[in-house]
Amino acid sequence: MKKVNQVLGILLTATVAVGPAARPAEAAGPDGGLQCDSVVAGLSCLVVGHGATQSSDLVAYLANAGAHTRLVTDLAAAMQLAPALPVGLWVWIVNTEADAPISVDSLRAIARSNPGLDAR
């Protein structure tokens, strides 16, 4: 089930089966640096979850595929980190098994603490 708010994005619940991460194909980019052939390469992701869950595995999987990742243990830690995150698009992945039930309003309030964030 998903709830849609046209101004602030979409909240959805997903179950993701993650197998071993294969290193994406790399090639020299136009500036001479490495360029990953991955749908998440360059994507900024904040994962909220603690070590008793598979949150750290997800962070490793995303980072291995070229995403820029940060891991925090709970929403309180996300609230402290949010003002310091670089501006731009961020995908927030909240492990609902890792914390008490989370309201959409609390997530929005945390994201608003940094006006430059485009949190999804």
Which pairs from 101-105 meet CB under 8 Å and 24+ separation?
Answer: 102/75, 104/3, 104/5, 104/11
If you search the block for the tokens 């089966």, which residue do you land on? 17
Q: Give ∠ CA 30-34-35 in degrees, rounded to 5.
A: 75
User: Could you tell me if residue 88 is inside a domain?
Assistant: yes
Q: What is the pLDDT of residues 17-43, one digit of tens each?
A: 555 555 555 555 555 555 557 888 999
In a domain, 38, yes or no: no
Q: Which residue has the higher pLDDT, 117 or 1?
A: 117
Which structural domain range is residue 80 located in? 44-120
Q: How many domains does the chain have?
A: 1
- pTM (two decimals): 0.66
Per residue in 52-65, pLDDT tens? 678 888 899 899 98
Structural domain contains residue 50: yes
Residue 92 lies in a domain: yes
The predicted pLDDT at position 4 comes to 41
Asked whether residue 97 is assigned to any structural domain, the reply reads yes
Residue 118 included in any domain: yes
Q: Which residues of 61-95 are buried (b: 16+ CB within 10 A; e: fewer)?
A: bbbbbbbbbbbbebbeebeebbeebeeeebbbbbb
Is 70 a domain residue? yes
**Residue 93 in domain:** yes
